[in-house]
Structure 1
Amino acid sequence: MIGTLGRKIIFEVSDDRAMTFRDMTRDISGRWAEHEVLGRKPKPEFLGPANQSVSLTITLSVSLGVRPRNVLEAIEGMVEAGTAEYLVIGHRTVGKNPFRLTASSETWDRVYSRGELSKATVTITLEEYT
């Protein structure tokens, strides 16, 4: 197993199934305020850490043992329910807190004659939930 996003999204490669991600980006930043001082440069003040964000792209293909529509529906449900889950990669959590799915963008790459979705690409956006 490569990792998980909660219990519904499992990244793995096995004899029967391959579901992986690519282009994962993680943004970590701090929150700062600037106080204006008359006749002088502004004074910065560190307010604390900002929420981290993660974006990653997942390829879903029937030929790799994945049912694209089922995974897309699970992701849709997580986005619309405001679900927050831990992102685990290589048995280590990413960040200290769970992440909420704030958005997903799907591309239906291959659809067969009866409307069966056989290949899709989805990019999900996660934001730290504290």
Structure 2
Amino acid sequence: MRIRILADGDEESLADLQSWLSTDPGTSRLGVATVAGHGPTMGALEALDIVLGHAVDIGNFALAYVSWRSVRRDEGAGPADGAAGGRKLVHGDSTVDIGHLSSEELADLLRRLNSSGATGTDE
């Protein structure tokens, strides 16, 4: 399953998330690719494409994401409910704000999206 996490104009948050995922033991082997902007934002980091291969990947990503969001909030790097960028998850035609979800809720959402088979994004 391929998901996309949007920068929403906050490249710094997204770069921080990418770094976090690359150093987290549970997510360091996930396929994570950057998506750069075209046109006036050419070269700007706009999103991360993340490939989750199986249920363990989903659980590890959910835990790493929520941990990252919590650390950023504790460090004052974003609003009280998490970083401004990296809050929106896109899978197929669905876009969901995940900035408030617990790791269990996020893992459940990802499992449901994976089983729904949204077109054009499944691996």
**Shared fold by TM > 0.5?**
no
* Pair member with larger Rg: 1
Higher relative contact order (CA 8 A, sep 6+): 2
Q: TM-score, normalised by structure 2?
A: 0.32
Say which structure is richer in strand: 1
Q: TM-score, normalised by structure 1?
A: 0.31
Say which structure is richer in helix: 2
